[in-house]
Amino acid sequence: DQQVKQNSPSLSVQEGRISILNCDYTNSMFDYFLWYKKYPAEGPTFLISISSIKDKNEDGRFTVFLNKSAKHLSLHIVPSQPGDSAVYFCAASAGFGNEKLTFGTGTRLTIIP
């Protein structure tokens, strides 16, 4: 069963606007969540993470929000830039990201100039 779900396979956003990528999870044991960005022919690149003791974490243009009761997290990118066009993966672990990661299927973000 898919324990981490990204229900939007693709998303297009105008340059300068906000991009919002969503992720849902089902496993209550998950307590650490990460977002990775992937360009073609490269491995995933770590973007930002959040522990279950927080509901928000910010790093520059990237903010991750966690709603534990809804088992939902989202990644906000503002303002969106053409270089943000990539596939974004949500991942979860039961233990600070040092244990195995369970990934979603990814969302392809396209920023329109």
Partner 1 sequence: DTGVSQDPRHKITKRGQNVTFRCDPISEHNRLYWYRQTLGQGPEFLTYFQNEAQLEKSRLLSDRFSAERPKGSFSTLEIQRTEQGDSAMYLCASSGDGEQYFGPGTRLTVT
> Binding to partner 1 (CB under 8 A): which residues in 25-54?
34, 36, 41-46, 49
**Which CA distances in Å does 68 have to 10, 31, 61, 82, 85?**
24, 9, 23, 31, 28
Q: Is 3 in the site for partner 1 (CB under 8 A)?
A: no
Q: Is 24 in the site for partner 1 (CB under 8 A)?
A: no
- Residue 8 vs 105, nearer CB to partner 1: 105
What spatial distance separates the first Cα and last Cα of the chain, rounded to whole Å? 38
- Residue 3 vs 79, nearer CB to partner 1: 3
Contact 37, 86 (CB under 8 A): yes
Selected from 33, 104, 109, 111, the binder of partner 1 by CB under 8 A is 104
